[in-house]
Structure 1
Amino acid sequence: MKKFAIVSLLALIPAATLALEIPGGQIHGFASQGYLLSDGNNFYGDSQRGSTELREIGLNANWRLNNTLNFAGQLLSRDAGATDNGSLRVDFLFADYKAIENDVTGLGIRVGRVRNAYGFYNETRDVLFTRPSILMPQAIYYEGNGLRELLFSSDGAQLYSYWDAEDSTTSFSLTAGRNKRLSKDVIKNLLGTSTSQLIAQGSLDHPIFAQFSHARSGGRSRFALSMYNVGLDFDTNFMGADGLNLYASGYVLSAQHNLQDWSFTAEYSLTTVKYEAGRLGNAKNDIEATYLQAEYRLSPKISLHSRVEYSVNDRDNRNATDTQHFVVGTKWSPSRNWTIAADLLGMRGTGGIPDIDNPNGTRERTEMLAVMVGYRF
């Protein structure tokens, strides 16, 4: 009921209002509600009967103390079937100190819970207006696997810089995170419901994220290289039993070209995962994923998009572990505050399918209709 009360409160804000002004800063908010209907597998709730368990509500603010020190934060409630329970959490909260800032370059550091630069869309993945479709590209952002908590933000420090040239901008960020305890939801998403019951606790160890990005001609062409290294430790419930250590490292290559009516985006990722299970032995596999997306702006208010995704959970065993997704959809924004989106998805393979929404096992093929309404101010 609290979540629906927030949505109702947001709806009372005048449509012309794009932000709430406060002394030295602004407050923004967003809310979106989705409906999913699928065949084959469930996706975010019992979508084979129709699910409304895709809901995002956020409130963020920024406040500038002076020319060098700024504060920003966001509260978020996200419901996504069994992968996310809708509880209210601090999504990010950091102090931003700019040590150098002039017409051509800048250097600063953020401290707190900072957003990780990962691909093109990770930092704004919860806002329907800024992501490419209702569901994020599964192959790169692990949306259906419920791993947003691992990818979106880190508790630690982030060094960033940028350099402006006559017709281009280059930027860099490096995030060094602290160890932190994993929530029960993340452990279930990673290991499955049955295996997670054997785990007493899990922790995220020293996550590192880095990104170089380059834009030309005012954003007409964009490129990025994202790198990451994450460790996960799991302790079992049994005395004397070996725990499980998991180490993941990899990169994402991103490219986008924007024309007057068209935008083309492609991203490719390669992740190496190493498993250490004590007396049970060690293992390693490479996860490879890519997608190609096209967007056509039919008018200032209506756009069409399509995307093809491909991923393999083990490059040495492609035929048995590959997944393909095909997405076509549209967005209609009758005003700057509102948008309505609809997508049709065809999926072959089980990559990106939420296992914990399908306790009786997953099927090879899934077709799904997704509809979502979003509001922002």
Structure 2
Amino acid sequence: MSNPLRIAAVFAAICFSGSAAAIDYQVHGYAAQGFVLSRHNDFFGDSTDGSFDYYEAGINAAVQVQPNLTFAAQAAIRDAGISDDGSLRLDYAVADYRLVSEASIQAGLRAGKVKNALGFYNETRDVVFTRPSILLPSVYSDNQNQRSLIFTSPGAQVYGGTVIGVHELSFTGTLNAERDVRKSDERLLVSLTVPFDLRIGDSWNVQIMDSIDGGKWQLAYSRFSGQFRLSTAPEIDLVGRFDVDLNVFSARYNAERFTVTAEYVLVDNDNRLTFMGAPFLHQRVAADSGYLQAEYRVRSDWTLMARMDGFYSDRHDRSGHDFAAANPGVDRRSRFSHDFTVGVNWRPGEHWGFWAEHHWINGTATLQPLENPPPVRDQRWSMLMLMAGYKF
């Protein structure tokens, strides 16, 4: 049994060992089916012919066994073309112990497979009802398979908050344990012709947020730091170490009818490879991405959304010309992506939601190469995304 499953089993045993009268629990679930129709390039399946290869579903439960102790877990499936394989996973499983719970100050500890606080949407990216759109901005790398890498991780988390005047300050700090990368994910991150194993070393992330005037303004800074370790058979002796640092700057303004959100992320990678014990590659990569998004609530059940989004594999070479010149045969268009999106969301009732959005995109950096083997990809492409969801 894997470590997360052991955690879930222990949680269940503890929860149901008490008296039924003492247990306060909630069970919720969701399911959503998507459709993607694109021009020129494929996204989440064979979308140039129309793809239903995009769906997600999950069921979660929270059990409060004591006033200051809660257990929560979620099992989920997600299929998103080559980016996710639809296999059943334990999304999260946590024990949450509230150390302090007063009107002006909160503090606690979580342990298990915890959600990582990163930007505004990482902790709520699993359910379409809690996202601003079907597809998250490029800051969250929805099509680069980073959901399973940074959404949750086994580890321990400390959190707290306090109110000072009109400021509601909160802090979350997480230390994640070393873990293996799923085989289905490895092929999306590393392209090698020999067998290899990829692990994520100890990682950590922190988030500081200030919610001002009852949430009218929200400002946040998040940082994630981790290390990937690659190894091969001793007779090949190819060893890799890839250090990753993300700094996310977030700002949001909430009014009665509209919300404006902006986020910007700096990504620094330090990649090292050795072959037969000798240095083989040392590469530093400085990427960045950001977006500006507006949501307008026409009525309580209708919301319009517009977003400008940009991603660059190298913030010092935004056009990709330098990279293409140094790497003959590489398409410079794969080094950037500009995405303009408009969308609409209709929620006719408590349980149902319907989303539609159209993307106009320049550049191919956010495409999966395995779905779009070169040189087929086109620089300018577009796609229509639809989704229907149900929750209880």
How far apart, in 1, do the equivalents of 2:33 and 2:234 lie?
42
Deviation of 1:354 after TM superposition, in Å, equals 1.8
Q: Is the Cα–Cα contact under 8 Å of residues 210 and 218 in structure 2 kept in the other structure?
A: yes
- Give the structure 2 partner of residue 359 of structure 1: 373
The Cα offsets for residues 268-288 of structure 1, whole Å up to 9 and x where unpaired, read as 000100100123220101111
1:303 and 2:303 are equivalent in the alignment: yes
The one-letter amino acid paired with 1:373 is: A
Partner of 1:182: 181
Post-superposition Cα deviations, 1:199-231, rounded to whole Å, max 9, x if no partner, equal 421100111111001111221111110001010
Q: How many residues align?
A: 352
Distance in 1 of aligned mates of 2:207 and 2:86: 30
Q: Deviations over 1:55-78 (max 9, x none)?
A: 000101111111121101100100
Rounded Cα–Cα distance in structure 2 between residues aligned with 1:225 and 1:153 = 18
Q: Tell me which residue corresponds to 1:47.
A: 47
User: 1: distance between equivalents of 2:60 and 2:287?
Assistant: 34
Matched, 1:204 2:195: no
For residue 253 of structure 1, what is the amino acid of its counterpart?
A: F
Deviations 1:133-175 (A, max 9, x none): 110102x001011111111011010011111234331110111
Q: Which of 349, 355, 358 is the equivalent residue of 1:335?
A: 349
**Counterpart residue identity of residue 228, structure 1:** F
Match of 1:369 in 2: 384
Match of 1:120 in 2: 120
Change (3 A) 1:347 1:199: farther
Match of 1:146 in 2: 145
Deviates more, 1:248-257 or 1:100-109: 100-109
The amino acid of 2:210's aligned partner reads H
Indicate conservation of the 8 Å contact 1:36/1:52, yes or no.
Answer: yes
Q: What is the match of residue 157 of structure 2?
A: 158
Aligned counterpart for 1:271 among listed residues 256, 267, 271: 267
Residue identity over aligned pairs, in percent, reads: 34
* One-letter amino acid matched to 2:184: D
1:232-247 superposed matches below 5 A:
232-237=228-233, 239-247=235-243
Q: Which amino acid aligns with 1:69?
A: L
Instruction: Give the aligned partner of residue 347 of structure 1.
Output: 361
1:240 positional shift: 3.7
Partner in structure 2 of residue 89 of structure 1: 89
**C-alpha separation in 1, matches of 2:226 and 2:195:** 19
- For the residues of structure 2 that align with 1:376 and 1:196, how far apart are their CA atoms? 41
SS of equivalent to 2:318? helix
Higher relative contact order (CA 8 A, sep 6+): 1
Moved more, 73-82 or 195-204: 195-204
Q: 1:23 offset after TM fit, Å?
A: 4.1
Q: Distance in 2 between the 1:277 and 1:196 partners?
A: 13
Equivalences for 1:279-318 in 2 at 5 Å?
A: 279-318=279-318
Distance 1:163 1:145 in 2: 36
Counterpart in the other structure of 1:167: 166
| Secondary structure at 2:87 match in 1 | strand
In 1, are the aligned partners of 2:128 and 2:134 still within 8 Å (CA)? yes
State whether residues 134 and 343 of structure 1, in contact with CA within 8 Å, keep that contact through their aligned partners in structure 2. Answer: yes
Structure 1 match to 2:15? none
* 1:302 CA displacement: 0.6
Question: How far apart are the structure 2 equivalents of 1:297 and 1:276?
Answer: 48
Residue-by-residue CA offset, 1:311-336 (whole Å, 9 max, x unaligned): 21112211113320110010011101
* Structure 2 CA distance for aligned equivalents of residues 64 and 334 of structure 1: 32
Q: What is the one-letter code of the residue matched to 2:336?
A: D
Match of 1:104? 104
Name the CA distance, whole Å, in 2 between partners of 1:165 and 1:243.
50
Amino acid at match of 1:134: I
Q: Is contact 2:252-2:259 (8 Å) kept?
A: yes
* Structure 1 contact 266–292 (Cα < 8 Å) conserved: yes
What amino acid is aligned across from residue 156 of structure 2 in structure 1? A
Whole-angstrom distance in 1 between the partners of 2:195 and 2:344: 42
Structure 1: state its 5+ residue gaps.
Answer: 1-21
List gaps (5 residues or longer) in structure 2. 1-21, 321-334
Supply the distance in 1 between the matched residues of 2:288 and 2:202 (Cα, whole angstroms).
23
Q: Secondary structure at the match of 1:83?
A: coil
Residues 6-53 of structure 1: per-residue CA shift (max 9 Å, x gap): xxxxxxxxxxxxxxxx94110011110000000121001100101001
1:198 to partner: Cα distance: 2.5
Structure 1 consecutive aligned stretches of length 4 or more whose deviation exceeds 6 Å: none
Q: Which residue of 1 aligns with 2:58?
A: 58
Alignment TM-score, normalising by the size of structure 2: 0.87
In 2, the alpha carbon distance for the partners of 1:182 and 1:265 equals 32
Counterpart AA for 2:38: S
The one-letter code matched in structure 2 to 1:71 is: F
8 Å Cα contact 2:207-2:221 kept in structure 1: yes
Root mean square deviation, CA, Å: 1.4
Residue 366 of structure 1 aligns to which amino acid in structure 2? W
Q: Distance in 1 between matches of 2:385 and 2:336?
A: 23
